[in-house]
Structure formats: C-alpha cells, structure tokens
C-alpha cells in the first residue's frame, strides 16, 4: 500500500515539476519574443523608420489572422491593432449599403497587405484615398479581397462563389507571383494544402509562444544555411495556361453579370529595371530570381490573349523602375511605400474606366 502511495506521489511530483519547468520556459520565451518578434521581415530596411512597438503589432497581426482553406476565404470579424477583417470577410471597414460604384481588388497576401502598418496603407487603402479625392461627389467603394495564399484558382472561385453576389462594377486582378511558385499538381488545392503548413499555421495562431519560437529558429536556420532556393520550372507552360484560362472564364461572365475586369501582373524582386538595393540583391540571389523571373515572362506573354476578352490587361512588373531604395522585404512583398506606388499606377490605369462608367 505504501509503495503504491509512494508511486502516486512520485508521479504527481514529476507532473508538477514538468508543468513548472514548461511554465518557466514559456515565461523566458515570452520575454525573448517581446524583444525579438516572430517575423523576419521586420528586420528589413523597409521598416527602418517604424517604431519597435508598431513592428511588433504588424508581426502579431500577420501571425494571428485566420482563413479557411477549402474554399479559401478570410474568417470574418477579426480585429488586431494593424489588421481588421470586417463581417463580410474582407480586410478593412464594413461594406457600404448602396455605393455608386463598387470595385473589388483581388489577389494574394500582397493585396491583403501582409506587412502593412494599417488597413489604410494597403494597396486598396491607398487606392480608396486617391479615388475618393478624385470623385468627391460619388460614393466609390474599393474593397480589399486579398487573401494570403490566394492564386488564380482560389481567386476565380472567390469571384464566382462570393464576390458576384455583391454586384461589382469593376474587378481588378493583381497576381502572378503565387501562380508562378505554386505546384502544378496542387493547382486545385486551396490554401495550405500541405499538412505541415497547416500545423505551422495553427501553432502560430495559438497563445503558446514556445513552439512558435522553436519554429522561428528552425526556419531562420534553414534560411541562413541554404545559399539558393532553386526555382522548379516543371510544367510552367501548363501553369500559365491554367492561370490564363481561369481569367478567361471570369471575363466571359462580364456581360451576364454587368461588370468589367482588369488583369494586372504584379512585380516581384528583380522584374523591370529597378536598381536593386543590397538587401534586394540578397533576395534576388537567395530565391533564384534569375530563373524565376525568366519564366515569369510567360505570364506577361499571355496578356494579349486575355486582353481580347477582358476589359484591359497591364504588366506592372516595372512599376518600381525609377526607385533605388529598398522596396521589397522578401521575394515579392512590399511595405507601405511600395503599396502607395502600386496604388498610384493602378489608379492611372483604371481612371478612364471609372470616368466612362459613372454618370456625368
């Protein structure tokens, strides 16, 4: 009897000791995480003039935002210090009831605004500001329909299954990068199709800091010890065809649903003739953009075919040509300054369409 009691006491002491140890580790790691937030991108020169607290808030928001995988859509009603997802599942303010003109801008994390300091400094946020200033007498609404991980398959499904219900007047498609890097075999799989990616996302969204930091150290080790992440061009022609066909399918719906469509190829590091900063040169080499950008040209080559059916198509790969400062904080994401430049270019392209559509 005494042996059994002793065994139970030992087990209880062991469990209590383990809990105390794990709690101590968690406290230490939380302290570390406060001074070293779990986002590599905030070390970029893009964020050199931003306060530490704001960097941390950006990092937390990007880690915590949640989306459904299949079909891919943002979970509504999420609110963080730098990110707000409204009740309809779009980043930004609540939608208006009866706008005079409604524009959706559709894309992946670059449109969503990964790394933006606020909802208003995303591409759609800057575009809304410019449009509202130009047309003060009209209620023109710009809606951010960007979702991290989105590409042509998930974006076209989002349009057909959700966005058309909101009676859009204009759809702006801003993508290319995610289609370029996604696997051909998984084209019809939404979001995080790899089990490991789903597990990582769940860990980052949890409140327990220890496993998140361990993941950070692991991926930083990988990043620092792999000189070049080679681009795999397998099935690139088929991938371009799938991308093109997805947007032809959407553009063929224009007459039936009374909307217009503009397709835009987004810039990634090394496209166009931008003078790359030392930081951007590192991304260019590390992510094998010499190969990647060569095959990216095939997406631009497909634009004339789309232009015959869609309202308009534009190649924005050279949008940063006149800027020498660091704009990219990785292979394709940009900060507020880059977002504003892109918004200005989109504004220039769509103004003639809006002027023609709205009443005089």
Q: Is the pTM of this model over 0.85?
A: yes
Cβ contacts of 156 within 8 Å, gap of 6 or more: 246, 247, 249, 250
Which has the closest alpha carbon to 264: 105, 153, 37, 133? 105
Domain annotation for the chain: domains and CATH numbers: 25-357 (3.40.50.1110)
d(CA 67, CA 267): 25
Query: pLDDT band for position 12 (50/70/90)?
Result: confident
Cβ contacts of 147 within 8 Å, gap of 6 or more: 67, 72, 73, 74, 108, 109, 112, 154, 158
Chain segment 262-293, per-residue pLDDT in tens: 999 999 999 999 999 999 999 999 999 999 99
Asked whether 350 and 134 are in contact (CB, 8 A), the reply is: no
Cβ atoms within 10 Å, residue 347: 17
Cβ atoms within 10 Å, residue 298: 17
Cβ contacts of 75 within 8 Å, gap of 6 or more: 66, 67, 68, 85, 89
Query: pLDDT band for position 15 (50/70/90)?
Result: confident
Task: Answer whether residue 257 shows pLDDT above 70.
Answer: yes
Which has the closest alpha carbon to 137: 100, 96, 168? 100
Using alpha carbons only, what angle is made at residue 306 by residues 317 and 264, rounded to the nearest 5 degrees? 30
Task: Answer whether residue 315 shows pLDDT above 90.
Answer: yes
Task: Answer whether residue 332 shows pLDDT above 70.
Answer: yes
How do strand 78-79 and strand 84-85 relate by DSSP bridges? antiparallel
Which has the closest alpha carbon to 69: 241, 197, 169? 197
End-to-end CA distance of the chain: 93
Which has the closest alpha carbon to 126: 357, 338, 359? 338
Chain segment 139-168, per-residue pLDDT in tens: 999 999 999 999 999 999 999 999 999 999
Note the pLDDT of residue 343: 98
CA 337 to chain centre: 16
Asked whether 166 and 125 are in contact (CB, 8 A), the reply is: no
């Amino acid at each position: 009897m005494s042996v059994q009691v002793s065994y139970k006491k030992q087990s209880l002491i062991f469990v209590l000791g383990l809990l105390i140890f794990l709690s101590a580790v968690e406290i230490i790691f939380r302290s570390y995480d406060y001074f070293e937030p779990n986002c590599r991108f905030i070390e970029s020169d893009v964020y050199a003039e931003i306060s530490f607290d704001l960097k941390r808030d950006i990092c937390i928001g990007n880690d915590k935002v949640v989306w459904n995988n299949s079909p891919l859509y943002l979970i509504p009603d999420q609110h963080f210090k730098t990110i707000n997802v409204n009740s309809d599942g779009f980043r930004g303010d609540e939608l208006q009831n009866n706008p005079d003109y409604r524009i959706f801008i559709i894309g992946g994390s670059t449109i969503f605004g990964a790394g933006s300091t606020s909802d208003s400094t995303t591409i759609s946020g800057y575009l809304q500001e410019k449009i509202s200033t130009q047309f003060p007498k009209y209620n023109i609404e710009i809606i951010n329909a960007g979702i991290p991980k989105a590409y042509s398959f998930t974006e076209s499904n989002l349009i057909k299954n959700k966005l058309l219900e909101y009676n859009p007047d204009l759809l702006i498609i801003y993508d290319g990068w995610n289609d370029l890097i996604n696997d051909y075999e998984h084209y019809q799989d939404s979001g995080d199709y790899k089990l490991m990616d789903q597990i990582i996302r769940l860990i980052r969204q949890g409140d327990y800091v220890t496993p998140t930091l361990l993941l950070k150290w692991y991926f930083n080790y990988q990043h620092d010890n792999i000189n070049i992440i080679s681009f795999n061009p397998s099935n690139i022609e088929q991938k371009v065809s799938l991308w093109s066909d997805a947007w032809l399918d959407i553009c063929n719906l224009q007459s039936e649903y009374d909307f217009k469509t503009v397709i835009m190829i987004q810039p990634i590091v090394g496209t166009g003739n931008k003078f790359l900063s030392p930081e951007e040169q590192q991304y260019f080499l590390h992510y094998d953009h010499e190969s990647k950008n060569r095959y990216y040209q095939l997406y631009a080559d497909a634009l004339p075919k789309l232009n015959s059916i869609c309202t308009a198509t534009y190649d924005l790969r050279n949008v940063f040509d006149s800027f020498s400062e660091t704009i990219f904080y990785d292979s394709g994401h940009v900060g507020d300054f880059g977002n504003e430049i892109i918004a200005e270019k989109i504004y220039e392209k769509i103004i003639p369409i809006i002027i023609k559509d709205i009443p005089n």
